Amino acid sequence: MARCFEGKTALVTGGSRGIGKALAERLLQEGAKVYVIGRSKENLNKLKVENPSFNTIQVDVSDWDQTKTAVEQIGYLTKKILSILGIEKFEEIINTNFKSAFNITKIVTRGLISAGRPGVVVNMSSVGGLKAAAGFMPYCVSKAMMDMLTKVTALELGPHKIRVNSVNPTILKTDMTKDICENEEFVHVYTSQHPLRKFATVEDVVNATLFLLSDDSAMITGSSLAVEGGYLIH
């Protein structure tokens, strides 16, 4: 194979062993300048001995500030990206939309299991977890995390007779969205994307939630119920 990464720069996280190491080695062979991030100084040193061409960066990537400082050594490749993401707002949204659901689900279902009782969990997600929306990265990511939380907890809690599903609504007409829902231009553009040509209502979401909570959905678990007027069809 031709050296198709000649003149390119690559950043590989977890690149000091396993799949990450194999990928880093292949990128190097293909001509890339390779930066390898790893937590273990010992593994990074071994990698550097094996091939001095690697640029190694020791950092625990779970530490955002430490990672930002370390990775900025690469320069233009990452400085711009890291500044755009906005760590504070991202963490706030993840904490509110995902971690809270995880925490409460854990507390409640532990109690149900201890008491030997069945139960139902319905997470309030969004179509944002099922379809990307430009400018809403943290929100969409948080809702996608919630949808996967729904699936995994449904799998794990099923043997304890606990069902877990999510409701994924589109924009609703509420007090919070009153301004945009009364904007004629927005209403025209937005509803034209929905086969039903209308906004979802709070009642639509409540009805879907009640269905998932009821025995009428006794054989449904691990599902994301989209309440979006067909928005996801196209």
Q: Residue 18: is its pLDDT beyond 80?
A: yes
Host domain of residue 122: 87-233
pLDDT in tens, 175-215: 777 777 777 887 888 778 888 888 788 888 989 999 999 99
Q: Are residues 47 and 114 both part of a single domain?
A: no
Q: Are residues 55 and 126 both part of a single domain?
A: no
Q: Residue 226: is its pLDDT beyond 90?
A: yes
What is the pTM assigned to this prediction?
A: 0.78
State the pLDDT at residue 79.
Answer: 46
State the pLDDT at residue 80.
Answer: 47
State the pLDDT at residue 87.
Answer: 67
Does 120 fall in a domain?
yes
Q: Are residues 147 and 56 both part of a single domain?
A: no
Q: Are residues 81 and 98 both part of a single domain?
A: no
pLDDT in tens, 130-184: 999 888 899 999 999 999 999 999 999 999 999 999 999 988 877 777 777 777 8
Reported as half-sphere exposure (CB side, CA atoms, 13 A), residue 123 has a value of 36
Distances (CA, A) of 214 to 15, 92, 164: 48, 32, 12
Average pLDDT over residues 70-83: 61
Q: Are residues 99 and 204 both part of a single domain?
A: yes
State the pLDDT at residue 120.
Answer: 93
CATH number at residue 55: 3.40.50.720
Q: Residue 68: is its pLDDT beyond 50?
A: yes
Share of the chain above pLDDT 90, in %: 47
State the pLDDT at residue 133.
Answer: 86
Q: Map 120-184 to HEC letters.
A: EEEEECCHHHCCCCCCCHHHHHHHHHHHHHHHHHHHHHHHHCEEEEEEEECCECCCCCHHHHCCH
State the pLDDT at residue 83.
Answer: 47
Q: Are residues 48 and 126 both part of a single domain?
A: no
User: Looking at 85, 108, 139, which one is the last position of a domain?
Assistant: 85
Answer yes or no: 139 catalytic.
Answer: yes
Does 1 fall in a domain?
no
Share of the chain above pLDDT 70, in %: 94
Choice between 74 and 123, residue whose per-residue pLDDT is larger: 123
Q: Map 202-231 to HEC letters.
A: HHHHHHHHHHHHCHHHCCCCCCEEEECCCH
Which residue among the candidates 35, 76, 139, 231 is catalytic per the annotation? Answer: 139
